[in-house]
Structure 1
Amino acid sequence: MSSPGLREHRKATNRAAILDAATRIFSEMGYEGSTVRDIVRASGLAAGTFYNYFQSKEEVLACLVGDLSSDVRLVVEKARRKATNAREFVFEGYLAFFRTLGSEPSILDMVSRNQALFRSMVFGAGISSWTESTAPSPDEAEPPREEHAAVAGILQDLKKDLSRAMSADILAPMDVHLTALALIGAGFEILLAMGKDPSLGPEQAAQFLTELFLQGMAPR
């Protein structure tokens, strides 16, 4: 009989193998064009093993997005909270974001191949947050998809950090929600550009957006 430690290690290894395989399959075939069978085949595991962890490719996607969102929230919030001025707030936040997602080719490939899907998560989270006050009651509302809820967490973190930075005079006062949508939307589109242009690295991407938001487009 295997020890509890060995069983946990095997479970973690199998889960990682499934998620890695799904990332490759979603990158190569697209999310809509892939099946559980494709993921199982790429993972090298048995179909029964797959179903010990996930019941569908939808669950796999939700897990992938949830893991990525957790990583992003952790590093980006930490970077922004160290900021003592507006430039640091914008640049360090974007740099952490791009280093987390933009430095891994498989992630960039997956996002680029499934742009419409990921756009729906990013901007769907924004619309959902915007209409919270007029949403139906909990008994009437349709439960949000897990991956949309995970992305919405990134937006909520940013809004909290923006409010804190504005209160501390690190940033000028402005509409927090619209600012958060603009920052996230621009970051997502530049992330897609990084997937198409390997020469565009995290530092350059973060610097571009920092100049855009802080200096604007007017001639100087």
Structure 2
Amino acid sequence: MPETPSPTVEFISIANEFRHEYVVEKSRFITTVYPCSTEEEAQAFIGRINKEFWDARHNCTAFALGPKQEQQRSSDNGEPSGTAGKPMLEVLKKTGITNIAVVVTRYFGGIKLGAGGLIRAYSHSVAETLRLAPKELHTIRTELQTTIDYALYGAVERHLQDAQLHYEASFGEQITLTILVVPNDVERIQKELQDMSHGAATCNVLDAIEVVLPLD
């Protein structure tokens, strides 16, 4: 069996830039999250949001980079120390989502929230935005290629969908399926395909590759 590329650590990020607004005591908290892999990309994003919301009282920031969030940074941007950037970063650390930069833009509504209120508002804003944002899994999958007759396609397709396996189909005299399988599951999936086809399906193990898969 082909060897798995290494060292690669599985991690979750967001699929694209996403924005969500939260209002508390008339203050608007506009959270924008952005996928990035370097500090330069993160700072460029932060600069862009600062220009977009130039009239806001605060644009507080946090980012986490690397498969294990090796790089971390945050800024309160004028809010009382420890009430914005650090709580935002703590949410990132708790979720484990990485390769991401976050800006929470605050438009003051005239009612002071106090330190505790600010911490709760910034934390909630980031947590809710991450909950709603489309996410993706960066991981390793082995390509398993199988060739089957058309008569088996419906049953095999249902089986792959029930197992939540990603695959592509090529149609010719027979159907060739290229399936992305967790490396440790390859032998089991091969056996299941063989059992379903009563030994008629041919299976070839191809390369283990880095893939990005959408998460619900």
TM-score exceeds 0.5: no
Answer with 1 or 2: which has the greater Rg. Answer: 2
| Larger strand fraction of residues | 2
- Normalised by the size of structure 1, how large is the TM-score? 0.22
User: So what's the TM-score if we normalise by structure 2?
Assistant: 0.23
Query: More helix per residue: 1 or 2?
Result: 1
